[in-house]
Chains A and B, each alone.
Chain A
Amino acid sequence: MIIVLWVGMALIGGAGSVLRFVVDGAIASRTGRAFPFGTLAVNLSGAVLLGLVTGLALGHDRALLAGTAAVGSYTTFSTWMFETQRLGEDRQVQNLAANIVVSLVAGIAAAALGRLIGSHL
């Protein structure tokens, strides 16, 4: 069963990454390059979803597939930090600070919202 779980995680995780690639690209192409809205949108929507999964209180395997594989691979920490660091290199201090603060504050709020919804389903 552990093999099936791993294969499932690989497939679902891959799909999550592809979805991030598509969503990020679609939003970034509409909003321009000054601020990384694409990654922000991906991460905030992912935080709502993982909050939802947490609120649903699924079993271990299901939580692993839905939470870790699907939502975990959909959201990204590395791109968030990469874009923040590049904003810093361009001396865009306001955008840099906004990218960190908005992601963290809105991210926690998004996770709380998702969990609230999940616990009522």
Chain B
Amino acid sequence: MNLIGAFLLGYFATRLQERLPLSSYRRPLLGTGLCGGLTTFSTMQVELLRMIDARHFGLAVGYASASVVGGYAAIHLATAMVRRVRVRT
């Protein structure tokens, strides 16, 4: 869920900020509402806490790094995709 949402936010936010005409409602609607609602930070923290409780330290480190690296890559990829398309005039 988090990686899909991160990809979508990278796509929408870059496209809205750098490609489409300025709009005051699209960013909150698509970015904050859709992607923010789709992804979650708190569940990840509680899941990490449970892994630490269970002494699965390797699993916790793996989950945290995979999320961060995957999320970062998803944003990066979506940003690059949007920027490759030329600005419409």
Contact = CB atoms under 8 A, between A and B. Distances in A.
Interface of A: 13-14, 16-17, 20-21, 24, 43, 46-47, 49-51, 54, 67-68, 71-82, 84-85, 88, 100, 103-104, 107-108, 110-112, 115
> Does more than half of chain A's interface fall in helix, strand or loop, or is it mixed?
helix
B81 interface: no
Interface size class of B (residues with CB under 8 A): 35 or more
Interface in B42-75: 42-46, 48-49, 52, 64, 67-68, 71-72, 74-75
Given A77-B39, A78-B36, A85 B72 contact: yes
Contact of B75 (A68, A71, A82): A82
Contact of A78 (B28, B38, B42, B43): B38
A80 B2 CA distance: 11
A2 B20 CA distance: 39
B75 A50 contact: no
Contact of B9 (A50, A68, A73, A78): A78
> Does more than half of chain B's interface fall in helix, strand or loop, or is it mixed?
helix
Given A85-B79, A108-B48, A111-B42, A77 B32 contact: no
Contacts of A46: 41-42
B75 A85 contact: yes
A50 B71 contact: no
Interface in B1-43: 2, 5-6, 8-10, 13, 28, 31-33, 35-43
A88 B71 CA distance: 13
B21 to A, nearest CB: 21
Contacts of A77: 2, 5-6, 39-41, 44, 67, 71
| Residue of B8, B33, B49 contacting most chain A CB atoms (<10 Å) | B49
Give 10 closest A-B pairs by Cβ, nearest first: A81-B71, A77-B39, A50-B42, A75-B41, A78-B9, A85-B75, A76-B36, A107-B45, A77-B2, A111-B45
